[in-house]
Structure 1
Amino acid sequence: MLIIRNYEKTAEELLVHYDKASFYEEWLLNETWEIGFLASETEKSKVSFELLDYESSVFWQGQEFIIKEITPFASGEKCFKLIVATHVYYTLQDGYQYETLTGRRSPSQLLAHIFKDDSRNFSWSIRGSYISADKENFGDANYIKLINEILKIFPIAMIPDNRRLSFIPLDEFGKKINEPIRYKYNTDDVRFVINTYNLKTQIMGFGARQEDDESKYVFNPITYTSPESQKWGIRIQDPVRDERYQHADSMEERLRTDLQDYPEITGIVTLKWKTELEKGDYVPFIYEPMGINTYIQVVGIKTFPDIPNKPPEIVLSNTKQTMTKLLISLRQEGLM
C-alpha cells in the first residue's frame, strides 16, 4: 500500500492504479535507499496521480520516501508517471554545517556538532564505546558528507528509521546466515569479480609516543603476519600509525582487522527462490575453482514485493570499497 502526501503537507491520498509489477525497493550500503514504480491516471486515481509531484512524500511499509525523479509520458489517451523516490534520510544533504572543529573527538561529539543547528526534525542515538579520533577542520560540508566521514573513521553502522538515526557498532549490523550462496545450488546467475590486487599478508603498527621522549614509543612497533602468508607469501600492507593506541594488544587487534589478507569479492547474484537475507547479513560464499569458502556481506538488495515468488537481486562484497566504487567496478567488468 502506497500513500502519497504533497510537499505542503495539505493533502494525502492512497495511491491506486499503479503497476505492481513495476514496483521495486533498492538499498545500497551507504549510498541509496529508494523505491520506484509506474503510476497511471484513471478516473479513480486522478487525485493521487496529481499528488505525484517532485518533493512529494511516498509512504511505504512505515517509511517515508521523497520523490526526486519523475518521467511523465502518454500512451494513447492514457497518462503515466515513472517515479523514483529516495528515503527521507537523504534530505540531510540539504543541511550544511558551516562551523569546523579540530581536536580529539568521539563519534557522539562529532554527531552533536553536525546536528547542533539542525531544523529538519532529525534525531539520533548512538550505542557502543569508541576510541576518540583526532579530527582537523571537521565541518564545512553537508550533513550526509559529514556522517559518511564518521562512518569511515569509526566501526559504526547507521540505521535510518524515517527521521530517527541509530548508530550502532558495525559488528552488530547484520547477522550470520548458514545457508550458502553456491553456484548450481541456489543460483545459476552469478556475476562476481574476484581479485587479489590488494591482498596483503603482513602489516606493522605504530602506537603512541612517550610524553618525555617523542623519539620513543609507549610500546615497540609490532608486526602481525597472517596465517594466509603460508599460502600467498609475505605481502606487506601500508603500516598503521595511530597515537591513540597505548597497548600492544589493542594495536594487534586493529592490525588483524585492517589487514586485507583475503581476495576481494564483489558481485551480484539472483537467487532461484526467495530468501530471508536482510541488509548487512553475512552469507557463506562458496567458489570451488579458487578454493574460496568465506562469509561475505549483503551490501545491496533489490526486491520486487508485489511479484509473487520473484527472488531478490543481492549485491555481496567483502571489500572496503564504497558502493560507488564497487558498482563502477562491476560496470567496467560488464556485470551490470
Structure 2
Amino acid sequence: MLDVDILYRNYSGTIEELLIDFDPDSFRYEYEENEKRNIQLTVFLTNRNSGIYKGLSEEAFLIWRGQIFTIKECNPQQEGTIQFKEIIAQHISFSCADHVQYNLVEQERVYDIWQYLSHGHEGDELGFTIEARGEFPTIPMSSVGRQSLLEYVQTAAEKFGGVFYANNKHLVIYSPAEWYKYNGIDLRYQFNTDTVKLSSNTYNLKTYVKGFGKTKEDGTTVEAIYISPNVNKYGRRKADPITDERFLYSESLQSYLATKILDVPETSIEIVYKGNEPIGENEQLYLVHETLGYESMLNLKRMTLFHPYTNKASEIGFSNRITDMIDIQRQVHRRYNNMNKRLESTRYEMEQVTGIANTALSGDIVGEVT
C-alpha cells in the first residue's frame, strides 16, 4: 500500500477496500503527544464509490500507514447536487477508554510503571496489550482504580514521565530516552522554515519546590528544598511536592528538583516546516534562529501532516513543559534581560549627554545675556 493510500474497513471486518474520491486538500493527520492522533478528510459520493460511501459511518475504520483509525464523527452534507461526508477518525489505541478497571486499591503503596499499567489492564477483553520501554521511577499512589485503561495510560505518561504511543492496539509508554531520536534534521530560519511563532505565559511558573526521597531504616525520609534564583523577581511560588524513592541523599534530590520546575515563562513554538526530510512523531530537531537569537535541541510535541498530493508544508509544534524547551526559555529570558540592561545603559548615557549639553547650553545663554 502506498503512503498516499487510505483503506476503508467495515465495523465487522468483513469488507476492506481502497478509499477513493476523497478530497486530498481536506486530508490532515493531527498528532499531539499523549493526547491526540486523528485523521480527518472529506469524501464525495460518486458513481465509483457508492458502496463504500454508504458504509462510511461511526465506528467503521480507516487504515493509513498501517495504523487503524476509528471513525468517531461522520457528517453527511449536500450542496446542490453534490453529496459528501466530513469525517474525523481517532487512532484505535484511544478506544482503550472502553475498558474500565472498577476495582479500587485505596491504601497508598509504591508502584513501578508496569504494576500500575497492569492493574488498569487487568480483565481487558478488547485485545489490548501493554508495554513500558526504558527506565522509570517508582511512584507512591493511593486510591488507584475505577478509571478507564486510557486514563491509566495517560496518567502513567504524566506521573512516571513518559510518552504514550501505540502500534494499533499495542499500547506502549516510552521513557524520553527511548522515545526521542535526533536524525540530523536542523531547522534554520529561511532555509527550511519561514514561519516561526513564539508565545509565552506564566501560568505554570514556580520558584519553590519541596521533594521527598527514600525512607530510611530509622523511619526518616530524605527531604530537600529547591529555591530558584528567580524567586527575587517573581516571589515564592510553590510547586506541588515531588516524591521519588530513587534518591538516598538530599543533595542529589535537590539537583533533581531544579529540573522539575519551570522558573521562567512557559514558552511554545509553532513552525511551518518546508524541508524534504520526513519528520516522525518522536523527532528531535535542532532549531537555529539568528534573528530572534536562540538555538536549541527541541522535542516535537505536535504535528499536522497534509496529503502528499497537496504539497503543503507540515506544521510542527514544541512546548517547554519543564524539560522540552527550558534552554529556549532561558535564552529568551537572558535576551530580554540583556536588552533591558542595554536600554538602561543607553538611557544612562543619554541622560549624561543631555546633562552635559544642558549645562553647556545654559552657560552659553548666560554669557549672551551678560
Report if aligned partners of 1:181, 1:283 keep a CA contact under 8 Å in 2.
yes
Percent of residue pairs bearing the same amino acid type: 27
User: Which entry has the higher C-alpha Rg, 1 or 2?
Assistant: 2
Which shifted more, 55-64 or 181-190?
181-190
Distance 1:205 1:76, change over 3 A: closer
Matches within 5 A, 1:21-60: 21-60=25-64
Gap regions ≥5 residues in structure 2: 324-370
Counterpart secondary structure, 1:161 = coil
- Give the whole-Å Cα distance in 2 for the aligned partners of 1:237 and 1:283: 32
Q: Out of 99, 106, 110, which is 1:104 matched to?
A: 110
Choose between structure 1 and 2 for higher RCO, CA contacts under 8 A separated by at least 6 residues: 1
Classify the secondary structure of the residue corresponding to 2:143: strand
**Preserved contact between residue 237 and residue 259 of structure 1 (Cα < 8 Å):** no
- Name the amino acid aligned to 1:121: G
- The residue number in structure 2 matching 1:325 is none
Match status 1:128 vs 2:130: no
Aligned partner of 1:163 in structure 2 is 169
Corresponding residue for residue 145 of structure 1: 151
TM-score, reference length from structure 2:
0.75
Q: What does residue 267 of structure 1 align with?
A: 269
* 1:122 CA displacement: 0.7
CA gap of 1:235–1:60, structure 2 versus 1, over 3 A, is same
Moved more, 238-247 or 45-54: 238-247
Q: Distance in 2 between matches of 1:81 and 1:257?
A: 48
Contact 1:283/1:295, CA 8 A, preserved across alignment: yes
1:3 maps to which residue?
A: 7
Contact 2:273–2:315 (Cα < 8 Å) also in 1: yes
SS in 2 for 1:10: coil
Whole-Å Cα distance in 2 between the matches of residues 131 and 187 of structure 1?
Answer: 38
- Number of matched pairs: 316
The gaps in structure 1 that reach 5 residues or longer are 322-336
Question: Shift in Å at residue 170 of structure 1?
Answer: 1.9
How much does 1:223 deviate? Answer: 5.1
Query: Is 1:319 matched with 2:321?
Result: yes
The structure in which a higher percent of residues are helix is 2
**Equivalent in 281, 284, 294 of residue 283 of structure 2:** 281
Q: Which amino acid aligns with 1:127?
A: R
Code of the aligned partner of 2:24 = K
C-alpha distance in structure 2 between counterparts of 1:111 and 1:180, whole Å: 36
Q: How far apart, in 1, do the equivalents of 2:11 and 2:197 lie?
A: 40
Letter in 2 for 1:269: I
Which residue of 14, 17, 20 maps to 1:13? 17
Change (3 A) 1:202 1:281: farther
Helix, strand or coil for the counterpart of 1:166? strand
Please list the CA deviations of residues 20-69 of structure 1 after superposition, one character each: whole Å capped at 9, or x if unmatched. Answer: 22211111111110111111111211111112111001111111000111
Report if aligned partners of 2:133, 2:178 keep a CA contact under 8 Å in 1. Answer: no
Alignment correspondent of 1:92: 96
Counterpart code for 2:141: K
Partner of 1:328: none
Q: What's the Cα RMSD here? A: 3.0
- What is the distance in 2 between the residues matched to 1:268 and 1:262? 19
